[in-house]
Structure 1
Amino acid sequence: MIAWANDIDWLGEHLPPSPVVEWCARFPDYTSTVRGQRVSLVEWFFKWAHLPLTHIHLRNQSETRSEATYVTRNVAPYLYFVLPRCRNVVSLDLAGLLDLAAIFELATSSTKLESLRISSMNVPFLSIQIVRQAIQWLTSTRVRMFWFSKWTWDPTVDPSLQNAFLAALFQCPTMINLSLTYCNLSQLNSEACTTLSTSLEILTLTSCQLSSSCLVGLAHGLPKSNVVQLHLEGMDEADPATRHASFQHVLAAVAHSKVTTLTLERCIDNDTVVYIGPWLAQTQLRDVSFVENGVMDSGAVALAKVLQGNTSIRRLNLDANNLTVQGVVALLEGNSIRSVPLEELGVAFNNIYLDEDKAMLRARAHRLSTIRFD
């Protein structure tokens, strides 16, 4: 791992080719010093592009670093000018200012790039050329992971090309981990969701525009897939009139799938939670998260019945809902008669404020490893 970039010439001379050479150092913002001489960013990045890098990781790690390592406006033109030359890169992880043309030029010119994680501060447009390059990459390379945060379609990209790109994502034969955040998926054909790639194991869709018909298509595709982690977040604005029925289909499908981790956050409501109880009881889920869904005590009672009949669930997260002490008591009573108790119950940011109430609930949670109130 290269976390120090002060002498690019030294790195060029002493850094041997290796199966894993990861760059995570902050780029110089203006000029740099090489062996006592000031060099321009053009020259510095030309030298950088000749390093035998296999992994490039430029994403702010605020918990471990005091300085930003994302792509800044100052360095973006120089980085993206040389990026297509980095043909040995297997994994590319960029946050900040994105140049999709340069990124997908690298993707299509290299046969090695199998992991791409990009999140943008500038919400880039997907043009016809970029979409076609992305489809070429997805259909000709062993792509394993694709994470994209924020995009918007160029007006020249017609719905059929949008769907072709989205179908290539969901049906990429080697894709293991697909995560999309704040992306417009409204042109995704429901048929693409019914035939998910058999290699796909982790699917995350956060605050994406997705039709109810695609949710139903996803439900049809889940039982035939190998997805083990399903994360759907921020779908509360998608076709509100039919959302309740759509998520009923999804939960019914989960009961007949390989999914063991399920996240539905800001997707459903209390009535849906009450209704889906029988399907939840039939699942093999281990981790369930229903954060910020407006779950009330009646929903907690329904989930308590699920816990009594399903011993596979080990962690249940109900943070940021509308539970009171009575709802949490119902959950604890349901857990108390399980042969295999929960490991963790999350009820933070609910309607439980008094310290004596929290103390009482902790006392009743003696079979739980952890109960979280904050």
Structure 2
Amino acid sequence: MQDDLPIRKIIHVDMDAFYASVEQMDNPELKGKPIAVGGSEKRGVVSAASYEARKFGVRSAMSGLQAKRNCPDLIFVRPNFERYHEISKKIRKIFRDYTDLVEPLSLDEAYLDVTENKKGNPSASLIAKEIRERIFKEVGLTASAGISVNKFVAKVASDYNKPNGQKTVNPEEVLEFLEQLDIRKFYGVGKVTAEKMYQLGIFTGKDLKSKTLEYLDENFGKSGRYYYYIVRGIHNSEVKPNRTRKSLAAERTFNENLSSEIFMLEKLDKIAKEVSRRLEKSKVAGKTVTLKIKYSDFTLQTRSKTLPYFVSDKSIILETAKDLLYQEKMNNSVRLLGISMSNLNTEKTKVRLKTEPTKTVSVQLKFEF
């Protein structure tokens, strides 16, 4: 770590198999059984899987058909997002008893900056433990947590002792922790990037750290600089309580593949209506309309158009989506359609300083975690 970087006490709380755990809590008959939320055996995609299902290799984003092949006893449950939102609000209320610096990443995870907290507790580890105990007692679900000096290390650490555990990485332990870590555990390194790193002989954080900035830039483009700094424990991003929404979307997976554009237009009408409703509810508008198309062979295509003005009206969104649909001929049937709005009027121009940290040293700090 660099000696002049701000030392913060950051907790990353991540609920354990959130959607699936809520379903098991609400329906005791599902407890201890392999369940998948979302999709079905024949159609759709798994949104979340219980730990019992994960033992069979069932994962989120997996097709329902493949999930059933992996786990013949798998039980499919339709998602209930209203219920997930309700539970998420209760959990965030607990977070705010400790700090106002809460940055939700999704319904089931968030960063908390407890450097200075409402309880006056100097130990971030004890705060994390108390939060997890309260979530279990007051909500009925288990959560895992990672505690460290910045958001990146805290997020990586929260996955270390899952489920229902926590991991603290003290300031003087950060570099060693990252060096020993499998490259697949680095947040921001996806499956494709991990495979490329393997081919380059990069298997651990230590291997990654041995590469120069120039080498990483050459092989990974803009992401190379990110990898160079995070493996050195350098991640200056603050916990931002009011994260700016960058996009808003709705999509539908169909019971039967659609081959007629007439039927697709009927579906797009409903999707555009839902997108418009969400925009108005969030009191935002956007300029860029993106049409998402997933074909029957699971190939994915997106088509976008940026308008000269902000819109939230359903009719304009629908007309733009129609234009995108007719943009080119489709030679395959369609299993999913989606519309997203981006380039929202919530986004602000950011000025970035070009100064970069250059010196990295290991420092011993008397900082209670």
TM-score for the superposition, normalised by structure 2: 0.24
TM-score for the superposition, normalised by structure 1: 0.23
**Higher RCO, 1 vs 2 (CA within 8 Å, ≥6 residues apart):** 2
